[in-house]
Structure 1
């Protein structure tokens, strides 16, 4: 008898909110939700580099996100690492 796939995928994460729906793809939205980032205010507390390290974020997704943030007069914090 075959095993159910649900036992293999014990943890499922579903995005319930509409934050950034239609702006960025689901993998990136799920990553933000896992980090409890559900508003532009919370997103602005992160650096671009920190968000790029999340699953689902690449060059195109980041560009879409930055355009959306710019339209709403929000930006990422400056990276505080030495050399930046």
Structure 2
């Protein structure tokens, strides 16, 4: 799985919608964001968080674990 920082990874429609509604439209914007903050968004669950984390790690980035 390769990703670019300018697009979101494939995480499912509900999670994508929740992130877009919260103003996150690119993977780059999620670097350093708290996992807990994202988990509060309706539709963003453990699977989506794992996919996002894996995509960020391809660029030596990560979500904040707080």
TM-score by length of 2: 0.73
* Partner Cα distance (2:52, 2:17) in 1: 14
Q: Deviations over 1:30-60 (max 9, x none)?
A: 1111111112332124201100111111121
Shift >6 Å, 4+ stretches: none
Indicate if the aligned counterparts of 1:40 and 1:74 stay in contact, CA closer than 8 A: no
> What is the total number of aligned residue pairs between the two structures?
61
Q: Give the gaps of 5 or more residues in structure 1.
A: 1-17, 80-84
**Larger helix proportion, structure 1 or 2?**
2
Counterpart residue number, 1:33: 20
* Partner Cα distance (1:37, 1:44) in 2: 11
Q: Give the gaps of 5 or more residues in structure 2.
A: 1-5
TM-score by length of 1: 0.60
CA RMSD of aligned residues (A): 2.0
Asked which structure has the greater RCO (Cα within 8 Å, sep 6+), the reply is 2
Matching of residue 67 in structure 1 with residue 54 in structure 2: yes
